[in-house]
Amino acid sequence: EVEENGKKIKKTEIRDVTSWVPLDASQIVADFHIDYRQKGLLWFSTYRVAFAGNYKFQNPTAEERTFTIKLPLPAKQAVYDGVEITLDEKPLALDFGGTEVTAHARLGPNAAGTVRAAYRSQGQDNWNYKFSNGDEVSRAKDFHFLIKTDFSGFDFPENSLSPTEKRETPQGWELKWDYQNLVSGFNVALKMPQKLQPGPLAGRISYFAPVSLFFFFFLVFILSTLRGLDLHPMNYFFLACAFFAFHLLLAYLCDHVSIHAAFAISSAVSILLVVSYLRLVVNGRFALIDAGIAQLIYLVLFSYAFFFEGFTGLAVTIGAILTLFVVMQMTGRIRWGEKFESVAMKPATLR
């Protein structure tokens, strides 16, 4: 009631008030297909996903209301196909803007409705389903989420919900998140399996080369000393060159053939160089048995441990401990002073 020109006038104002309506139930299915792509020496874990969610809600008022339905899209720079939003199986007009799709629908007094939102898309490395746009704790009632994959080796990112049930199928896996009254600040997320990256793998193996060479030289030195063989520093220099031929060949060959084939070829070439050289320097038995097996262990097996991510350090540590044990058992009764003295007094021979 306002006063104008000395008269009291009653005015009625109609205001639009927006309020969030909670979901009574969620039934969601996401079907994933992995599709690896290669660029240079790098593999990318690209995937295709078909998403479909059914959400139940109710008009909490005694009047017919207009509801705005928003479907947030996972990413801006992505391709989406088959985007649709329906209310009780009736298609709704869609408005695309920013990172979400919007639709409007009317629902009768105290009536319940089921919204279906679906799309097909592509992505890379990770996919996640957020319960809210912010980082606040969210609530979801009668929540059921099913993810189907045609692959294994997936993982769940940090700060994400683990599935309540996992089941392996002939095609891949089925992952379920079933909650009656979920309250959480975490999201549902899936990390795609990663292929072995030839370039970074060859780089890590090359960085580890000095450690492998140290173990190899250590065992060759011990064995040659025990057998009374005299190896000159120049012999060790050529052995090092043959040893590093593995890493050089692997780095360039993995760009043309598979990483496993490149690894096998590089190993064979390096071992052939070492064995054929030591056969001339000392004898065939020492070259093939002693040096050959040592190189197989400390070059080939130590380097192959890098194929198993997360176990490399453990494998190298176990190898180092076993090496120490074997050498200590072999040399426990050796009198090193007498051994080195006898080697030093050994007369030089012409080859």
Q: Given this model, what pLDDT does residue 339 score?
A: 65
Q: Coil, strand or helix: which one is 177?
A: strand
pLDDT tens per residue across span 228-283: 888 888 999 999 999 999 999 998 888 788 888 999 999 999 999 999 999 999 88
- Rounded to whole angstroms, the Cα distance separating 332 from 226 reads 12
Strands, DSSP E only, in 108-154?
A: 112-124, 126-129, 138-149
Q: Given this model, what pLDDT does residue 147 score?
A: 92
SS3 content of the chain, % helix, strand, coil (to 5): 35, 35, 30
Q: How much is the pTM?
A: 0.68
Q: What are phi and psi for residue 24, nearest 5 degrees?
A: -85, -25
> Residue 85: CA atoms inside 13 Å, Cβ hemisphere, count?
21
187-225 in b/e form (b: 16+ CB < 10 A) is ebbbbbeebebbeebbeebbebbeebbebbbebbebbbb
Q: Given this model, what pLDDT does residue 77 score?
A: 65
Query: CB under 8 Å to 303, separation ≥6 — which residues?
Result: 205, 208, 212, 246, 263, 267
Element (H, E) at 227: none
Tell me if 104 sits within 8 A of 69, measured CB to CB: yes
- Rounded to whole angstroms, the Cα distance separating 135 from 186 reads 8
Structural domain boundaries in the chain: 25-191, 198-344
Report CA-CA distances (Å) from 331 to 143, 225, 227, 317, 319.
67, 10, 12, 21, 18
pLDDT tens, residue order, the chain (351 aa): 666 666 666 666 666 667 778 888 999 999 999 888 877 777 888 889 999 999 998 888 888 888 888 888 776 667 888 889 898 888 888 888 777 888 888 888 888 889 999 999 888 888 888 887 666 788 888 899 999 998 888 888 888 888 999 998 888 899 999 988 888 888 888 888 888 788 888 888 888 889 899 989 988 988 888 888 888 889 999 999 999 999 999 988 887 888 889 999 999 999 999 999 999 998 889 889 989 999 999 899 989 888 887 788 888 888 889 988 988 888 887 777 766 665 555 554 444
> Residue 49: CA atoms inside 13 Å, Cβ hemisphere, count?
31
For the chain, how many helices (H) and strands (E)? 9, 15
Q: Given this model, what pLDDT does residue 4 score?
A: 62
CATH match for 25-191 among 2.40.50.100, 3.40.640.10, 2.60.40.3680, 3.50.40.10: 2.60.40.3680
- Rounded to whole angstroms, the Cα distance separating 183 from 195 reads 35
- Rounded to whole angstroms, the Cα distance separating 295 from 267 reads 9
Rg (CA), the chain: 34
